[in-house]
Structure formats: structure tokens, C-alpha cells
Structure 1
Amino acid sequence: MQPFNKYYPPDWIPEKGSVNKFVGKHPLGDRARKIDQGILIVRFELPFNIWCEGCGNHVGKGVRYNAEKMKIGNYFSTPIFSFRMKCHLCDNWIEIHTDPKNAEYLVVSGARKKVETWEPEDSEVIKLKDEDEAKKMVDDALYKLEYSVKDELRSKEALPILTQLQKLNDKQWADPYTHSQRMRKKFRVRIFFSINVHN
């Protein structure tokens, strides 16, 4: 039974408690070697790209580490956790904290987050209205009407070419029976003429 982690020592009896307690081992095994300090070893996946400050190398999003997880505080009733891990390219320690207030992670030490900014036009995303413009639309009905016409034109221009082609195709093939009938008629005419030519 040992391969299935169900090994029971010959001198163990149920009255002595659990096997882990009898052997003097934690149920989580080696992962709990620092549990007396409040640290648990977990598998942590980087939530974003970072630059290691020890070696200066780029570490990509999704790289996994055996990190030391520790509770360091609370945001109301939500716990704040610290994840401390060693860079796989050097001996530098990286520390990342959870940020429940903003629903994200913060790099505290040992690395810096790779800042990836771009303009909405570069990613083909329609630019959102600012607060002043939204207020003006609420107050001024004429401006709202004018804006809605411009917005409709802008949205048509912003449609990708494939979407435009798909819409055109859907429009042309709204009645497939009629189109199919027309194509069969042309095909029959060609066959009729080719048979007459050969005869």
C-alpha cells in the first residue's frame, strides 16, 4: 500500500490518533516545513510580465514558482497574502502581494512589473467618452442627437473588413432558394448549349 500513501506502521493502532501524528509528520508533507512561522509552500504562477532586479532578465507571465505564502494582513475581511519566491535565473528573491482593494497583485521587492501601455487606436478598440462629454450628452439633447449620428458612422468605419464581408454575404444570401434556382437555370442553359454544339 505504500505507493498509494496508505502505509501504516506495524506498531500503529487507531487509538494512537492519525498516522501523521504518530509518525510526527504534517499532512501536507514538505510543503509545511515552515508552517510554524505561518509560511506554506505553494505553486505560484506569475500574473503578469516582470523584470527581475537581480539579473535584469525578463520573466514572462505564467512562469510558475514554489513560493512561500504568508498572510500579512486584512482588507476588511479579505486576507492579504505575500508570495516570496527565488528567481529561476539568479539568486534574487521576488515578493508579490495580493491587493484585494484593486483586485490585482503588487510587486513589492526584487522585481518590477513590465508596463504595457498602448493607444486605443493601436489595438482597434473604440475610444470611450470622457466624463465631460458624457455630462454634455445628458444636458444637451441636440448635442446627443448629433453625437449619435457621428457615433453610428464611426462604428460602421470601425467594423473589421471580415465582419463587413460577412454582413454583405448574409444580405445577399438572405433567400438561398432564389439564388440557388438562378444558378441552376444558368447551369442548365450552359449544358443545353454544349449538348447542341456537340450534336
Structure 2
Amino acid sequence: MGERKGQNKYYPPDYDPKKGGLNKFRGTHALRERARKIHLGIIIIRFEMPYNIWCDGCKNHIGMGVRYNAEKTKVGMYYTTPIYKFRMKCHLCENHFEIQTDPGNLDYVILSGARRQENRWDPLQNEQVVPETKEVQKRLFDDAMYKLEHQAKDVQTASDAKPILQKLVDRNQSVWNDSYVANYRLRATFRQQKQEIKGQQDLDRQLLAKSSLDIALLPETAQDREMAALMKLQTKSAIERESEQRLELLMRPALPGATSTTFGGLKRQKALNTQLQLQELGIKRKQANAAGGAKMKSTERADIETAAETGIVAVMEAETESAMSSKSGHTSAAGSAEKSAVTAQKLCSLVGDYQSTSSEDSSPDSND
């Protein structure tokens, strides 16, 4: 309030800035009446009683927190911390009492005019938790043996206080025990566990039905989840990649603009329409020499027969796949009939090649 009164915005017409600020021009202080003894080194402040006291004049009790207008004076230094003295008048009598700060003990000391009401005690004797001093903390950090002894002392203190704490817990449970609330919480817990068990059973039943298994599944563990995650991240083998590529090629549409495809695709249709040659089976005919030709051995004739049988089997497999696709609805009945005709034509062509080969090979034998 004093600064508000001394630093108003009104400047009189005769104000001269050369004479200093407005307070100096008027001959007043910024703290106004609080600085009436500033020339003696005294400032008036609002002081709050730090603890309960007894006044020596009227013998009345003055409680902690009562506020007074006190004269504040600097009387000394504790290292770099100033020591202040506060002088105030009792509000119940004419007595004055003085209180001084004690920075060394973090406390206030009564110098005269009153006495302190003793409410101080040793926290250790009262079994209270006392924070460690800076010296003890430093020693705990530097000295390992002292730290071990300190921990052993703490363990002993905890063991001594355990029976008392247990008695307090038992008494609290006996006083504040509520059977209805306990039963409500227990039933809620059981209800939640029952729902979790039912949900897990439904998942197990679905998994068994999907896998066509009739076994009892064990509860899921953390190791099972880790193994499942590793299986998901496992790369595909070369055989799996090749199978996927083959399936992709087979399932391509027959036409560029088509959305569906027939079973087998264009490559299979092309394979069915292509006439099977003996050279594709790895069979080479032996050329006759100038003397009249070489005789074909029985082993070479057996190779030709085996190759012909292999070609026949391949064509029959193609016909079987074509029939399966027609049954599954991928191709029409006309397409199946056309493929059967192509297959029969191949069989006839293959048998004709085989007979011509046999006659050519047997002709030198007849000439001989």
C-alpha cells in the first residue's frame, strides 16, 4: 500500500525532476508510516507468532499464528545470514517482548518479556521417522560399513514396530469391517473371473473345431505367445515361394480384361493343344550307316516304349485335371468335350509315332 501511495501518477506543476523522485520531492518515504524509524534502522513489519508463548506481564496465553506490528532490527550475522530482532507489544497488556532469529538451529529465541510453552520432544524417543542430517547422508554415501550398520538398525526398528502395527491393523479391521461390502467385492471378483474363463473356453472350442482336434488345451503362457510371434515373423522357404508363384501363374485370367479364370489358365490350355514329340521326351533316333544301317538294340526299343507310356500318362493326367475343372464349374461342358477330343487326338498321334518308329527300326532286321 505504501508503494501505491508514493508512486501515484499525479505530478504537481511545481515538480522539478532535478530534485529526484516524487517521494524525495515531497519529503516522504515509499513505505510511508512503516518507515518512521528508518533513521534508527527500524522497519515496522507484520510478525506472526512462531509458537505458543506466555506473556510475562499479564500471564496470558498467546497462541501460535497471532500477528503483531513488530519493529524489525538487524543485530548481527550468522556467517552470511543476517540475524534479526523483533520487538512487539502484547495486545492484552502494556508489556513488550522481544524475539530473535536463530539461523544456526533454524528456530526463534525469546529474549525478554515472554516465555515459551514447551511442546518440543525428541522424535526418536517418540518413535517418529526423522530425516537424516547432511552429515549422516554424506557418511552413508562414503562409508560402506556405516551404511550396512545403518541398514541393520533400520531392519531391527521395523521388526520391533511390526507387532504394534499388526495390532493397529487388526483393530482397524474389527472397527471398520463391513460384511456387505466385503461380500460385494468378492462376488464381483468371482463374476469377472467366471466371464474370463467362459470367454477362454469359447476361444478354445472354436480353435478345436477349426483344427478338427479332440484334445484338452492348456492355458496360454508367455512362452507360447513368444513362439507364436516368432512363427509369424518367420520367412517363407524357397519351396513355399515357388508354390505360390506357380499358383499365381495358374490362377491368372485367360483374357486380359477378365475378372475370373478357368482352372489351369492359358499355359495349361496351350500345353493341351500342343502335340507331344518324342524329342521332348529326350529320345533320339539312331541314324542308319552306309553299310545298311545299324540294328536297334532291345534296350533302345524299351526306352522308346517307356517314353511313349510316359507321354500317354501325362496326357491322361491333363485330361483328368480338365474333367475336375469342369465338375467344379470353372469351365463349361463344351470346353470339357473339346479338351477330351484334343486328348484323344494326342493319343492317336503318339501311338502313330510309336508304330512308325517301331517299323523303321525293324526294317533293317528284315533286310538282314
With structure 2 as the length reference, what TM-score do the two structures score? 0.38
Are residues 1:138 and 2:170 paired?
no
> Matches of 1:17 and 1:179 in 2, distance apart?
83
- Match for 2:149: what amino acid? V
Q: Which has more radius of gyration? A: 2
Are residues 1:154 and 2:154 paired?
no
> Matches of 1:144 and 1:74 in 2, distance apart?
39
Aligned residue for 2:112? 109
Cα deviations across residues 109-133 of structure 1 (Å, max 9, x unaligned)? 000011125798xxxx64579xxxx
Cα separation, partners in 2 of 1:15 and 1:24, compared to 1, 3 Å: same
Shift of 1:13: 3.3
Q: 1:49 aligns with which of 29, 49, 52?
A: 52
> Matches of 2:127 and 2:48 in 1, distance apart?
32
Are residues 1:90 and 2:102 paired?
no
> Matches of 1:40 and 1:144 in 2, distance apart?
49
> Matches of 2:156 and 2:107 in 1, distance apart?
39
Cα separation, partners in 2 of 1:41 and 1:175, compared to 1, 3 Å: farther
Aligned residue for 1:75? 78
Q: 1:9 aligns with which of 1, 8, 12?
A: 12
Aligned residue for 1:26? 29
- Match for 1:52: what amino acid? C
> Matches of 1:144 and 1:115 in 2, distance apart?
30
With structure 1 as the length reference, what TM-score do the two structures score? 0.67
What SS does the corresponding residue of 1:83 show, helix, strand or coil? strand
What SS does the corresponding residue of 2:70 show, helix, strand or coil? strand
Q: Which runs of 5+ in 1 are unaligned?
A: 130-134, 183-199
- Match for 1:25: what amino acid? T
Cα deviations across residues 2-47 of structure 1 (Å, max 9, x unaligned)? xx63132231133332100101111111101111111000000101
> Matches of 2:95 and 2:154 in 1, distance apart?
56
C-alpha RMSD of the superposition: 3.9
Greater relative contact order: 1 or 2 (C-alpha under 8 angstroms, separation 6 or more)? 1
What SS does the corresponding residue of 1:79 show, helix, strand or coil? strand
- Match for 1:17: what amino acid? G
Q: Equivalent pairs: percent with the same residue?
A: 45
> Matches of 2:155 and 2:187 in 1, distance apart?
35
What SS does the corresponding residue of 1:12 show, helix, strand or coil? coil
> Matches of 2:157 and 2:20 in 1, distance apart?
74
- Match for 1:178: what amino acid? F
Contact 1:55 1:89 (C-alpha < 8 Å) held by counterparts:
yes
> Matches of 1:119 and 1:101 in 2, distance apart?
18
- Match for 1:38: what amino acid? G
Cα separation, partners in 2 of 1:175 and 1:100, compared to 1, 3 Å: farther
> Matches of 2:80 and 2:57 in 1, distance apart?
35
> Matches of 1:55 and 1:161 in 2, distance apart?
46
Q: Which runs of 5+ in 2 are unaligned?
A: 131-145, 195-368
> Matches of 1:146 and 1:41 in 2, distance apart?
53
Structure with more helix by fraction: 2
